[in-house]
Structures are given as C-alpha cells and as structure tokens.
Amino acid sequence: MGLEMNVFVVTALIGMYSKCGTVKDVWDVFDRIPIKNVASWNAMIGCYGKHGLVDSSIQLFERMSMKEKYGVEISQEHYSRVLDLLCRSGRMVEAYELFRKCQLKLQIQSLELSSMAVKSMAGEI
C-alpha cells in the first residue's frame, strides 16, 4: 500500500478480506496500520475468530491489552468478542474465567444474561 493509510478505510478493507477468507491478506493489511484504533483491533480479532483461529485471536487480544504500548483501552466490546469466540470453540472454563476478569476490570453490571449463559455452558447452573 503506497497510499497514505486512513485507519477507517483500512479497517473496512480488513472486514472485506475477512469475509473473503484471506486471513494472510487481512494480517498484512492490519500489520501495516501505523496507528491502530479500537475498530481495527476488533476487526482483526474477529477475523481470526471467524476462521477458527481462536488461539491467534486471544493472543492478539492479549497483545492489544498492553495499553501503554498500543494506546488502546480494552472495552466491553472486546471482551464480548473474545467471550463469544471461546464459547463457540467449546472453551467454557476459559470463557467463564475471562468473564469474571472483565466483570471486575470493567465493573460490568449489565452482563447478567451473558453471565448466566456462560455459567450454564460451564455446567455451573
């Protein structure tokens, strides 16, 4: 990409490549974004998840967690994306542990239904 990058346009490109199934192309585009925003991180995490690359998705989530280096604060949306990926891949214990962590970190009160779903899938209800 020889043109100046607009993070919003590039994030849309990530979404398009993701839908086409070209994960390597998605990574190449994502990797070239000089200053990533919340949407670009979320699009890349979602791409990995859509293609069954749950471990890669979680690794990217953890990398994004280094707020000092990347300047991105993890939001409820990010936690929701990773929770969904863990649940879909049958990793209920990890999903529940992450849910408890994000509940404490973000002081989330409105995720009662999600909490019940994760607990139910983990066999606690």
**pLDDT tens-place string over residues 24-44:** 989 998 988 888 888 888 899
Count Cβ neighbours within 10 Å for each residue of 10-36 and write b for 16 or more, e otherwise: bbebbbebbeeeebebbbebbeebeeb
Percent residues over pLDDT 70 in the chain: 74
CATH 1.25.40 fits 1-74, yes or no: yes
Q: What's the pLDDT tens digit per position in 86-98?
A: 888 888 888 888 8
Where in the sequence of the chain do the CATH 1.25.40 domains occur?
A: 1-74
pLDDT at 20 over 70: yes
pTM for this predicted structure = 0.62
Residue in 75, 122, 117, 66 with CA at minimum distance from that of residue 94: 122
DSSP assignment string, 2-55: -SPPPHHHHHHHHHHHHHHT-HHHHHHHHHT-SS--HHHHHHHHHHHHHTT-HH
